[in-house]
């Protein structure tokens, strides 16, 4: 634990408890380069120069450098985890009532945790603490970890209790300080009706089949919605007809949901995403559609640095053969590890059950060595697959509709 680990000028703090101001103490805090559990370490000394007339408590505090967390600028703090190692120095008195505590400072007030014993040999103190686990060393109350809280500093302290007319000397070595500050649902996005078409962008469209689709559009439909209007509609229009025979057409439409863009840097890496949506497939009444109907589903997508990444095998919102019927609460927790870069397209065989539609088979849709960096900014979106079989006059125009799109993002700060 070198000098660069601690904030210069605030390496120690020496408040007398207020019971008796007559006690006088000298505190030193220095780097020890030749020793430590992982050299260098800190050597902290509390020496009583004049004994107090009543019991007293003294703190020697080290503040961690570059360890300020501001909930109002980032997110609500779930808790704080600390660890530090201590060892009593040979020059120290024995039989002392000294201990290790972890501390935070907010709005000029200092708060401490419960105490941990000082090690005879190197001993690790550690714990995870919510706001209520801290108490003020000079007053009452606890720090504010909520989204309204101001900047918080973190550190540890050597705490020495001094009895009446006693003059103890405490010398303790400290090493390997660690601090972790996880957020409490740092960023949460509620249900979005996507009322503005600018919130969704068609990145690309890829079609295949007899009488294949030639036109794809993304628009807001103010006349429809799963609960109330509007909803987002992706429409695929076929090229023409195939009179006297069957025709089919399929389309992959890659859509960026620009309203769901994230910058993880202020609060830590994203660990998972929970999504929920209501979807519907609709098509023209002419030509007549086979009894099995069209197929539609979507796959989670991530856009970063000009690349598109999909979540292989996670097929959501499957609907087959039901026209103008909303399929609600398509809810999933999306883990991040499976995302891979999309490089080509597979064309699932028609599956009336909507199961095992082929996108996870041998077709090489993905560059398996290319993955998104969830510590960097990205935009969320959808890869939507629709397919329709027609009889006599070719494939029908197919509309994929999505509404009440909900998202919750969990991060590890």
Domain ranges of the chain: 3-180, 187-412
Closest by CA to 253, choosing from 296, 194, 315, is: 296
Residue recorded with tokens 């220095």: 30
Q: Is the dihedral of CA 286, 287, 293, 294 positive or negative?
A: negative
Measured in degrees and rounded to the nearest 5, phi and psi for residue 196 equal -110, 125
Q: Tell me the two tokens of residue 13.
A: 């703090």
Q: Tell me the two tokens of residue 354.
A: 């909507």
pLDDT in tens, 273-286: 777 777 887 765 44
Closest by CA to 184, choosing from 145, 155, 232, is: 145
User: Quick one: pLDDT at residue 55?
Assistant: 83
Closest by CA to 375, choosing from 275, 262, 285, 284, is: 262
Residue recorded with tokens 């004049």: 50
CATH of 3-180, one of 3.40.50, 1.10.10, 3.30.70, 2.60.120: 2.60.120
- Torsion (CA) 217, 219, 224, 229 in degrees, nearest 10: 160
Q: Which residues in the chain come in under a pLDDT of 70?
A: 1-22, 74-75, 183-199, 208-212, 227-228, 239-249, 259, 265-269, 283-295, 313-324, 329, 346-364, 388-396, 407-408, 410-413
């Amino acid at each position: 634990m070198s000098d660069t680990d601690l904030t210069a000028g605030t390496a120690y703090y020496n408040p007398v408890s207020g019971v008796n101001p007559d006690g006088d103490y000298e505190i030193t805090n220095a780097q020890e380069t030749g020793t430590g559990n992982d050299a260098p370490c800190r050597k902290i000394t509390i020496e009583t120069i004049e004994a107090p007339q009543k019991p007293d408590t003294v703190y020697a505090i080290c503040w961690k450098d570059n360890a300020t967390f501001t909930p109002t600028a980032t997110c609500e703090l779930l808790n704080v985890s600390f660890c530090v190692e201590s060892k009593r120095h040979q020059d120290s008195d024995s039989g002392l009532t000294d201990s290790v505590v972890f501390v935070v400072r907010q709005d000029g007030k200092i708060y401490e945790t419960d105490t941990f014993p000082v090690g005879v040999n190197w001993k690790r103190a550690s714990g995870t603490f919510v706001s209520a686990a801290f108490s003020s060393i000079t007053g009452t109350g606890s720090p504010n970890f909520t989204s309204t809280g101001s900047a918080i500093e973190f550190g540890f302290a050597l705490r020495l209790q001094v009895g009446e007319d006693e003059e103890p000397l405490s010398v303790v070595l400290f090493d390997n300080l660690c601090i972790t500050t996880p957020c409490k649902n740092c960023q949460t996005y509620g249900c979005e009706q996507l009322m503005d078409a600018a919130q969704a962008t068609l990145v690309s469209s890829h079609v295949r089949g007899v009488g294949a689709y030639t036109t794809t559009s993304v628009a807001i439909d103010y006349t429809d919605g799963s609960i109330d209007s509007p909803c987002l509609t992706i429409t695929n229009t076929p090229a023409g007809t195939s009179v006297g025979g069957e025709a089919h057409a399929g389309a992959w439409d890659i859509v960026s949901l620009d309203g769901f863009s994230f910058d993880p840097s202020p609060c830590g890496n994203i660990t998972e995403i929970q999504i929920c949506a209501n979807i519907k497939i609709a098509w023209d009444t002419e030509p007549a559609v086979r009894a099995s109907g069209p197929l539609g589903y979507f796959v989670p997508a991530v856009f970063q640095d000009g690349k598109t990444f999909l979540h292989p095998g996670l097929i959501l919102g499957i609907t087959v053969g039901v026209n103008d019927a909303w399929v609600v609460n398509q809810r999933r927790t999306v883990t991040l590890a499976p995302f891979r870069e999309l490089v080509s397209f597979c064309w699932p065989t028609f599956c009336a059950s909507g199961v095992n539609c082929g996108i996870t088979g041998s077709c090489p849709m993905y560059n398996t060595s290319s993955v998104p960096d969830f510590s960097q900014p990205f935009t969320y979106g959808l890869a939507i697959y629709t397919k329709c079989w027609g009889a006599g006059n070719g494939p029908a125009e197919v509309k994929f509709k999505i509404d009440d799109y909900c998202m919750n993002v969990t991060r590890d700060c």
